[in-house]
């Protein structure tokens, strides 16, 4: 498995959402023999695309951690068309708002 991912040591540089994970960190992890991971959480689609393009230009293997956040408060109780339930919202890669909702029985 190490060879498959271009690794010489069994180490994955964990993605850290919110800013600390950069293309430079992914590259440094690769140079050290590990697998660098790019965090995409809390970034715009355009920012993630730019960072992926920069890493791909180096021709190195890397991974990504993608999460969708629609509300900084996370899932919460709301009253929808069919009554009370929990809902979360997020945007898909095409910037469409997605709602996932559960209703109380």
88 in Cβ contact with 67 (< 8 Å): no
Specify the pLDDT at position 3. 83
Specify the pLDDT at position 55. 94
* 19/30 Cα distance (integer angstroms): 19
**More confident position, 98 or 23:** 23
pTM assigned to the model = 0.61
Residue 65 corresponds to which tokens in the numbers above? 């951690």
51 in Cβ contact with 64 (< 8 Å): no
Instruction: Classify 11 as helix, strand or coil.
Output: coil
Radius of gyration of the chain (CA): 18
Across the chain, mean pLDDT equals: 78
């Amino acid at each position: 498995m190490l060879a498959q991912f271009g690794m010489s040591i069994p180490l994955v540089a964990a993605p850290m959402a919110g800013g600390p994970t950069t293309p430079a960190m992914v590259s440094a992890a690769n140079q050290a023999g590990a697998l660098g991971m790019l965090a995409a959480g809390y970034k715009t689609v355009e920012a993630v695309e730019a960072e992926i393009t920069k890493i791909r230009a180096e021709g190195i293997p890397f991974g990504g951690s993608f999460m969708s956040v629609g509300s900084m408060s996370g899932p919460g109780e709301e009253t929808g068309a069919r009554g009370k339930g929990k809902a979360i919202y997020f945007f898909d890669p095409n910037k469409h708002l997605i709602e996932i909702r559960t209703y109380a029985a």
